[in-house]
Amino acid sequence: MDIYSMIQTLLNRGIDLGLIEECDEMYARNQLLSLLNLADFPEKVEGSVDVRIPDLLEMILQYAEDHHIVGELDAEKDILSSKLMNVLIQRPSDVNRRFYEYYEEDPKCATDYFYQLSQNSNYIQTKNIAKNINYKTETMYGDLDITINLSKPEKDPRQIALERERKHYVTYPKCLLCPENEGYEGRIGHPARSNHRVIGMTLGQEPWYLQYSPYVYYNEHCIALSKEHRNMKVTPEAFRRLLDFVHMFPHYFLGSNADLPIVGGSILSHDHYQGGNYQFAMEKAQEEFAFELRDHPDVAAATVKWPMSVIRLRSGNPDSLVDAASRVLHEWQGYSDEEVDILAFTDGTPHNTITPIARRNGEDYELDLVLRNNRTSEEHPMGIFHPHSDVHHLKKENIGLIEVMGLAVLPARLKSELEEMEKYLIGEENGLKEYHQEWADDIKARYGAGLHGENVRAVLRQELGSKFQRILEDAGVFKRNHKGREAFQKFCKLFS
């Protein structure tokens, strides 16, 4: 397919998917020609009908590299790719207008439209996401989700060097979550966002925006972000914004990472939440110890059967729910129980916070409050309530919102490492990493001759799920033993 056929095919796909209308075709064609340094276009060009947009873009970018329109670095190609797709997307005002027209019909129609647009525009990296390894594994807490993240390509060393060199050269936008990223060309060290669109909304009487994650980890993985660039904080106002969102989009959940290092997410410098149209194992987990809230009789409260320490609040009155959650937050921030290693402060430095998740349950609103503590010790320098050193061969990063709810996001290196481990387990020549040796030997000792080529992968996946369960149990502040349960109930009785 020559470059003109590629352009025509891209235009055809844009029309077919509703990104542009037929009357936009000539304008869009000329914009694409300009970006590719082409001065003319043949009279008769045949476009293909069965090529997906991500594949088309790869072919066009190869042409651009061959003709020295872009260099070899992925960042340069991403910038051009984003610009090409921007030609086929409406302006933000039109996208927002159409979104709210759909919203008047039904909130789900609105998000369906925006999610499809974000995929069709190649903002959501569907081709790369398809590379991820995803499966569920059965545990005593329900089916946990496992993802080995292969969607983000490794960076060229030359690009890494350029990023380091230019690290402090430009400070606009301030971060990857600022709304100023909408339509931003991008640069080395800051991703291309020409094809990025956000939806304006009001949460807690403040201007916020809705977008989707470029690398979705679950269905309709969305991000709500503050217009103001400010640090993320878990506060009563945050509870209000979470409930405002699920009132607006009752088919979505929305949660916040914790707001302290170690137990918080990767970006604490911009106030934001993550949500989507997906039911995690934690949502389906059974309630265990029910207790009354003396100051909020219209709010039901219970602990949850989950490896981490969760208090679930439910009410038809969101105002009462905000007040009740605020009381739990206030008590937890100052709570210590040395019998179970929980200290609220060390020399004035706070350790306790909450990971909150909001959802609708019929006519009721629910808030799951996951208790977190980021204290470290000599034995556990990365965190007492953090994955312990014996599981660092799988994951030692922060346990953020997504993991808290039951979805493991594991590093790409595990794909090849687990393949070598499979060979080791069935006695084939292998390149097993030394840091997996103890785990592999334990599995081999327990399964013995029962391991063979037909079942080894299934066994290893189940064992990986069990390890993720352990990781979550490490992060739980009240352990799931008799002593831990009694200590958790003692805390809950403060509210009765």
Encoding tokens for residue 95?
Answer: 């996208």
The answer to whether 3 and 56 have CB atoms below 8 angstroms apart is: no
* Six token digits for residue 359: 């959802």
Whether the pTM exceeds 0.75: the reply is: yes
Each residue's pLDDT expressed in tens, for the chain with a length of 496 residues = 899 999 999 999 999 999 999 999 999 999 999 999 999 999 999 888 789 999 999 999 999 999 999 998 889 999 999 999 999 999 999 999 999 999 999 999 999 999 999 999 999 999 999 999 999 999 999 999 999 999 876 655 676 666 666 666 778 999 999 999 999 999 988 999 999 999 999 999 999 999 999 999 999 999 999 999 999 999 999 999 999 999 999 999 999 999 999 998 768 899 999 999 999 999 999 999 999 999 999 999 999 999 999 999 999 999 999 999 999 999 999 999 999 999 999 999 999 999 999 999 999 999 999 999 999 999 999 999 999 999 999 988 889 999 999 999 999 999 999 999 999 999 999 999 999 999 999 999 999 889 999 999 999 999 999 999 999 999 999 999 999 999 999 999 999 9
Q: Which of 62, 39, 471 is nearest to 70 (CA)?
A: 62
Query: Buried b vs exposed e over 376-391: b needs ≥16 C-beta within 10 Å?
Result: eeeebeebbbbbbeee
CA distance 328 to 496: 12
